[in-house]
Amino acid sequence: MSKIRGKRPMTPKMDRLLQFIKNYTKKNNYSPTFSEMANELGYKSKNSVSSLIKKLEERNELKRDFAGYSRNVSINEKS
């Protein structure tokens, strides 16, 4: 798990979702849908994915590009 100064370490679910998004985006050149993310993590609800995405956004790991679009998540590149 990675640590960010002053923040709690990433949970295994957050890390798994982030790695899935990175790998999926690298392979397909676009981000996965919330349904695809939910399926990958074994969730029945997209709301669970949405809360993880929000936590990753707060950690500045990723961002949502356009509200209302199904493939709107992108990884923030670390400098």
Rounded distance between C-alpha atoms, residue 23 and residue 31, angstroms:
9
> Is the predicted pLDDT of residue 4 greater than 80, yes or no?
no
Residue numbers of the domain that contains 18: 12-75
Total tally of structural domains belonging to the chain: 1
Residue 3 lies in a domain: no
Residue 54 lies in a domain: yes
pTM (2 d.p.): 0.80
Q: What is the pLDDT of residues 16-42, one digit of tens each?
A: 999 999 999 999 999 999 899 999 999
Residue 51's CATH number: 1.10.10.10
pLDDT for 69: 65
Rounded distance between C-alpha atoms, residue 73 and residue 46, angstroms:
14
Residue 72 DSSP class:
-
**What would the mean pLDDT of 51-75 be, rounded to a whole number?**
82
Q: What are the C-alpha distances in Å from 71 to residues 7, 10, 31, 34?
A: 28, 23, 5, 8
Residue 46 lies in a domain: yes
Residue 2 lies in a domain: no
Residue 68 lies in a domain: yes
